[in-house]
Chain A
Amino acid sequence: DIQMTQSPSSLSASVGDRVTITCRASQGVSNSLAWYQQKPGKAPKLLLYAASRLESGVPSTFSGSGSGTDYTLTISSLQPEDFATYYCQQYYSTPPTFGQGTKVEIK
């Protein structure tokens, strides 16, 4: 199985801050990488797929980049509704695997 490692595991930030979350795969995943947002008590919500393609309806403050084994989710200007836990997921090979999550908290 491909192991996905996110960093940091948690971070504190203020509204308006630029936030970057990193996801590293144990082997290359050829941009087969998705990002999800999960709020307490809710199902995960797809933000981006194919590393950088924004899902319809997701604000353009979210962006993704990367290649090979290293990928990044960036929130350009943190909004109050963005405080949540974020997960990366590779779908290059089966089983699909998730990172351990990054919790974004209010500073």
Chain B
Amino acid sequence: EVQLVQSGAEVKKPGESLRISCKGSGYSFTSYWISWVRQMPGKGLEWMGRIDPSDSYTNYSPSFQGHVTISADKSISTAYLQWSSLKASDTAMYYCARPGVPGYNWFDPWGQGTLVTVSS
């Protein structure tokens, strides 16, 4: 079974750093890009960026470029999303997702989501 399993919920203070993870299983991890998608409370879905795990090449949405870093460790089939200095506005659910077919940007499956809460 193809699966993406994300790390657990996080509660952080403004200014703190954070890295959340997404572990792929049941498929060749290096054959599919991994994307990250943000969903703020009560809002819609926003694509943040993606990584090619085979060579760690990344694309970012202009809205998120410079605010987050996407990385991957292919040896453990895991992708990461990290912040160096969190803001209250980073409070959201974050999903990782894989293309249904390599080279296309429709997503299936999705991870279960990681809730990040940033509050003083």
By a beta-carbon cutoff of 8 Å, the part of chain A in contact with chain B is: 1, 32, 34, 36, 43-46, 49, 55, 87, 89, 91, 94-101
Contacts and interface: CB of A to CB of B under 8 A. Distances in A.
Contacts of B61: 1, 95
B105 A91 contact: yes
B44 interface: yes
Interface residues of B, number: 20
Contacts of B62: 1, 95
Given A34-B106, A46-B100, A99 B44 contact: yes
B105 A96 contact: yes
20 contacts: A36-B45, A43-B110, A43-B111, A44-B45, A46-B107, A46-B109, A49-B100, A49-B104, A55-B100, A55-B108, A89-B106, A91-B104, A91-B106, A95-B61, A96-B105, A96-B106, A98-B44, A99-B44, A101-B44, A101-B45
Contact of B105 (A1, A87, A94, A99): A94
Contacts, number: 56
Interface in B72-120: 95, 100, 104-113
Contact of A46 (B45, B95, B108): B108
Given A87-B44, A95-B61, A98-B45, A44 B110 contact: yes
Interface string B37-56: 00000001111000000000
Interface in B11-60: 35, 44-47, 59
A57 to B, nearest CB: 10
